[in-house]
Chain A
């Protein structure tokens, strides 16, 4: 019984990991688009919005790059 249920964990194949990464990237893209819209349209201080955007996208870029490197090391 235990072995059978653990067998389902083997679903985590390289393809699943890449799919997961694509999903994460998709969610990031959608939320970023919404955040950008709000920062552009509703902000009272353009400088603050610009700083927020720079920080958000720089750190997010580092995260995406790290995810890619980690994924490559797991799947190759």
Chain B
């Protein structure tokens, strides 16, 4: 999936905070109850409709048919839940001792991998905004690199301050001249 250089080790694999996933899945959870709504809607209509219409509707939406429709609905919600989870699960930052890989899965058919080197990092900013992010300790982390207008952003990063400290300390180690020498010797 990602190719590491010689002497490069993965230090951290960061996924978005679980609350980001829960927030996405909450809508699906509410959708679970839609068949119940349909059931009550049909009963309501049957109660007020003319006799012939009520008879047709009762025959059409009998218990078995509503059960079948509900199963189809729940099955699609189950599948969609996994689609959301996969999207969440494959969205990661891989922090190595030399680089950071920002892997972003956008739906099924778009995957973006950006890489920045530790020694190119100029500025790291974190932003925890709002009651829920403050309570659960997640937020944004922005990394500005030298010689590039590109800013790397991870939204919904868990413990962004700690992540910033990890990247900063790895960056400090990278700027140690002896480390460069060993890299140079290995032809990097």
Interface residues of A (CB under 8 A from B): 2-3, 6, 9-10, 12, 17, 20, 24, 27-28, 31-32, 34-35, 38-39, 41-44, 48, 52, 56, 59-60, 63-64, 66-67, 70-71, 73-74
Q: A9-B56, A38-B90, A44-B13 are in contact. Are A67 and B50 (CB under 8 A)?
A: no
> In the complex, are the beta carbons of B83 and A67 less than 8 A apart?
no
Q: A35 contacts which of B56, B68, B86, B105 (Cβ < 8 Å)?
A: B86
Q: Which B residues are CB-close (under 8 A) to A10?
A: 60
> In the complex, are the beta carbons of B65 and A12 less than 8 A apart?
yes
Q: Within B46-76, which residues are at the interface with A (CB < 8 Å)?
A: 50, 52-53, 56-57, 60, 64-65, 67-68, 71-72, 74-76
Known: A35-B83, A52-B89. 12 other contacts (CB 8 A): A12-B60, A24-B75, A27-B79, A28-B79, A31-B79, A35-B86, A52-B82, A52-B85, A56-B82, A63-B75, A66-B71, A67-B75
Q: A2-B50, A20-B72, A42-B105 are in contact. Are A59 and B60 (CB under 8 A)?
A: no
Count of B interface residues, CB-CB < 8 Å: 30
The docked-state distance in angstroms from the alpha carbon of A43 to that of B133 is 27
Q: A63 contacts which of B1, B57, B71 (Cβ < 8 Å)?
A: B71
The docked-state distance in angstroms from the alpha carbon of A27 to that of B60 is 25
Interface of A (DSSP majority class): helix
Q: A3-B52, A71-B68 are in contact. Are A42 and B90 (CB under 8 A)?
A: yes
Q: Which B residues are CB-close (under 8 A) to A28?
A: 75, 79
> In the complex, are the beta carbons of A24 and B13 less than 8 A apart?
no
Q: Does B111 contact A (CB under 8 A)?
A: yes
Give 13 A-B contacts (CB < 8 Å), ordered by A residue.
A2-B50, A3-B56, A6-B56, A9-B60, A24-B76, A38-B105, A44-B1, A48-B89, A52-B89, A59-B78, A63-B78, A70-B67, A70-B68
The docked-state distance in angstroms from the alpha carbon of A71 to that of B71 is 11
State how many angstroms separate the Cβ of B58 from the closest Cβ of chain A: 11
The docked-state distance in angstroms from the alpha carbon of A31 to that of B75 is 12
Chain B window 75-101, contacts with chain A (Cβ cutoff 8 Å), 1 for yes, 0 for no: 110110011011001101010000000
Select the residue from B82, B90, B94 with max chain A CB neighbours within 10 A.
Answer: B82
The docked-state distance in angstroms from the alpha carbon of A66 to that of B57 is 24
Q: Which A residues are CB-close (under 8 A) to B82?
A: 35, 52, 56
Q: Does B135 contact A (CB under 8 A)?
A: no
